[in-house]
């Protein structure tokens, strides 16, 4: 089973995205803070895809994305950015930093599935 991590400090949004991912047959882990996700990554754990909120306290989603892209062993991890900020400037910044896709809150299961389809190779099953 493929795995997905949600990194979002909004509990309701994280729960909604978790349910959608589970319907799409992903094993899901959720983290309220970027630091918690980084700890798991540094322990060698890796999801197949990360859904990353931009606006979080302390360490933002953009900060975490930059960190991922600087680390050789993490630079190819598929990352889908998730935000309420639907501006071209924000999307361009995320894509320049190495995001693989960008979706806006509130997200639908169809939008999430389409984004995942763009960043993960299709698997038989």
Q: Is 70 exposed, middle or buried (0-12, 13-18, 19+ CB in 10 A)?
A: exposed
Phi, psi for residue 5 in degrees, rounded to 5: -110, 135
Whether this model's pTM surpasses 0.85: yes
For position 124, what pLDDT does the model report?
Answer: 44
Q: Which domains does the chain have, with CATH numbers?
A: 2-119 (3.40.50.2300)
Task: Give per-residue pLDDT as tens, 29-73.
Answer: 999 999 999 999 999 999 999 999 999 989 999 999 999 999 999
Helices 88-97 and 61-70 pack at an angle, to 10 degrees, of 20
Do 21 and 28 contact (CB within 8 A), yes or no?
A: yes
């Amino acid at each position: 089973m493929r795995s997905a991590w949600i990194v979002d400090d909004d509990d309701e949004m994280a729960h909604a995205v978790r349910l959608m991912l589970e319907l799409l047959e992903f094993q899901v882990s959720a983290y309220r803070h970027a630091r918690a996700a980084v700890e798991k990554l540094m322990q060698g754990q890796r999801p197949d895809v990360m859904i990353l909120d931009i606006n979080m306290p302390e360490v933002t989603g953009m900060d975490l994305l930059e960190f991922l892209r600087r680390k050789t062993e993490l630079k190819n991890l598929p990352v889908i950015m998730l935000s309420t900020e639907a501006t071209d400037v924000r999307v361009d910044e995320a894509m320049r930093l190495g995001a693989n896709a960008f979706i806006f809150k509130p997200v639908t299961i169809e939008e999430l599935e389409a984004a995942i389809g763009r960043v993960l190779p299709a698997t038989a099953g």
